[in-house]
Each structure stands twice: as structure tokens, then as C-alpha cells.
Amino acid sequence: MQNIEAQIEELKSQISAMDKKIPSNKISMIVFSGDMDKVLAAFVIATGAVAMGMEVVMFFTFWGTPILRDKNKKAGGKDTMGKMFGAMLPKGTCEVKLSKMNMGGMGTAMMKSLMKKKNVASLEQMIEMAQEFGVQIYVCEMSMDLMGFKREEMIDYSQLSYCGVATFLEQAKDSRIQLFI
Amino acid sequence: MNEEIKVDKTLDLKGLPCPMPILKTSRGIKEVEIGQVIEVLSTDPGSLADFPSWTRSSGNELLKTDQSGEVTKFYIKRLV
């Protein structure tokens, strides 16, 4: 009898260990790219995943970081390099370009007008949707520091926080889908 | 399935391309009670493939797809 109880206990602990290995119904994305089309795709997948009942986390790093800057906000106290990067990199969604066929900005302008005509949501609208749908956004602290961005120049987004690589990996380890965009 | 489906709410999503139909449907279905039925009107060609996927993943039931004209009608029962 005692033997059976011990076996049941053993099974229980094995099952709970297996449970911990099953990833959550979650999708983790790294948004590395700063191109309008690629980031738009990332947000379409992110909001779609929430609609499918999944939890979504997006990690913005490198060229993805400037997309989350607010064009109406200013940040002081930057050094020369920070000011240079700040001026050269896009200030938010309205300054990002297509990854292909940009043609000095003409292609991007054409794509934007086509999207409007065909009722396709803009990047701005998709970010708003993501916020409404509860998509968690993390911003790479190292990229912020490297490019000289300050937190006060980033967009108002209710679920935005700053992190490092371990935060991403912990979430990615527990996700069924991981994407690098 | 020929019997009349009782619709509790209609979502008119005509003219909206991907991903809006499923985003708006995932929202709109929360406005009816569990067990009630929504009717979704979509002109997005991707919807034909997307609604069966969406209902399976979200745990709701696609009762009927009516693809008679330009507008496709989806009847979805809220289960969760």
C-alpha cells in the first residue's frame, strides 16, 4: 500500500515537471528591423495573435527602437553622438521607409497612399490596436543607450517597459512561437 | 444546414482588409452572451480561410459560411 502511495507521489511530481516544460499559448517577437513594411507585418501578426487568444510580447531592439519614438516629444541632456543619432534616425512611425522600392521616399509615399485607398491600417493605427489588444512591448535598454534615446521621448503606450536580453529569453522560452523580424 | 439561424448581433466589416475582420470579430463576439450567435459580413477574400482558423483557435464555433455574393456571411456561435 505504502509502495503505491509512493509511486503516485512520484507520478505527480513527474507530471508537474512535464507541465512546466509545456510552453504557454504565447508568441514572442523580436522587432529588430526598422522598415515600415516589416514592422507593419510584426504588428499585424501581434494583434492577430491576441485575436486568436494568444498572449503577445514584442521586443524592440536596434533599428526597431526608433519606431517607438514620439515625434512630438523632445529629450534634453544628450551628448553630441546622441544628438547625431537622434537626428539621423527616424523619429517615430511617420519617418520609416519601405525595405524595398523606397526610391528616395517616393515608393514609401505611394505605398502609404495605396494602403489608405485600400483601407489597410497604417503603422500608427496598428500600434493603437496593439495597445487596445494588450500587446506587451519591451524596449531593449542597450539599444536605447547606444542610440542615445531617452525614455521621455518614447511614445505613450500603456504596456511599455524596458529590459535586457534575459527578459526576452525568459519569455521566449515559455512561448510556442518565437519570431525575429 | 438549412434551418434559419437566429442572429443576436451583426458585425458589418465590409471593405476592411486583413487583419481587421478577425480583430473586430474577436472584439465584437464579446458583446453577445455565450451560446449566442453573431453574423459577420466581410468582403476580404482572406476571410474565407481565416474564419475557420480563427474559430478553431479561439474556441468558438463557425456554424455556417454563406458565400453567395461579393459579401461573405459568417455565422459564429460564441462558446468561450
B73, part of any domain: yes
* Contact status of B5 with chain A (Cβ, < 8 Å): no
**Could you give the CA distance from residue B72 to residue B41 in angstroms, rounded to a whole number?**
6
User: Is the confidence at residue A76, as pLDDT, over 90?
Assistant: no
The answer to whether A51 contacts B20, with C-beta atoms less than 8 Å apart, is no
* Contact status of B62 with chain A (Cβ, < 8 Å): no
Write the DSSP string, A72-90: T-------HHHHHHHHHS-
The answer to whether B15 contacts A52, with C-beta atoms less than 8 Å apart, is no
* B57: nearest CA partner in chain A: A52
* B14: nearest CA partner in chain A: A119
Mean pLDDT computed over A123-146: 95
How close A130 gets to chain B, by Cα (Å)? 10
Q: Which amino acid is at B50?
A: D
Could you give the 3-state DSSP secondary structure of residue A103?
helix
User: Is the confidence at residue B3, as pLDDT, over 80?
Assistant: no
CATH (domain of B42): 3.30.110.40
User: Is the confidence at residue B1, as pLDDT, over 70?
Assistant: no
* Contact status of B59 with chain A (Cβ, < 8 Å): yes
Could you give the 3-state DSSP secondary structure of residue B41?
strand
Q: Which amino acid is at A149?
A: F
Strands, sheet with A136-140, edge to edge from the N-terminal-most edge strand: A160-163, A136-140, A55-60, A24-31, A175-180
How close B37 gets to chain A, by Cα (Å)? 18
- Which residue's entry shows cell 444546414? B1
What's the pLDDT tens digit per position in A9-40? 999 999 999 888 888 999 999 999 999 999 99
How close A44 gets to chain B, by Cα (Å)? 6
Q: B18 an active-site residue?
A: yes
B3, part of any domain: no
Per-residue model confidence (pLDDT) at position A137: 97
Domain boundaries, chain A: 24-180
User: Is the confidence at residue A44, as pLDDT, over 70?
Assistant: yes
* A117: nearest CA partner in chain B: B15
The answer to whether A53 contacts B22, with C-beta atoms less than 8 Å apart, is no
CB atoms within 10 A of CB A143: 18
Q: What residues have CB less than 8 Å from A86, skipping those under 6 apart?
A: A75, A78, A147, A148, A149
Radius of gyration of chain A (CA): 21
CA dihedral B16, B19, B24, B30 (to 10 degrees): 160
B1, part of any domain: no
Q: Range of B45's domain?
A: 9-77
What's the pLDDT tens digit per position in B6-63? 999 999 999 999 999 999 999 999 999 999 999 999 999 999 999 999 999 999 999 9
Per-residue model confidence (pLDDT) at position A75: 82
The answer to whether A50 contacts B25, with C-beta atoms less than 8 Å apart, is no
User: Beta strand pairing status for A160-163 and A136-140?
Assistant: parallel
CATH number, span A24-180: 3.40.1260.10
If one counts the domains in chain B, the total is 1
User: Is the confidence at residue B2, as pLDDT, over 60?
Assistant: no
B19, part of any domain: yes
User: Beta strand pairing status for A175-180 and A160-163?
Assistant: unpaired
Q: Which of B15, B16, B22 sits opposite A48 (nearest CB)?
A: B22
Catalytic residue among B5, B18, B23, B34: B18
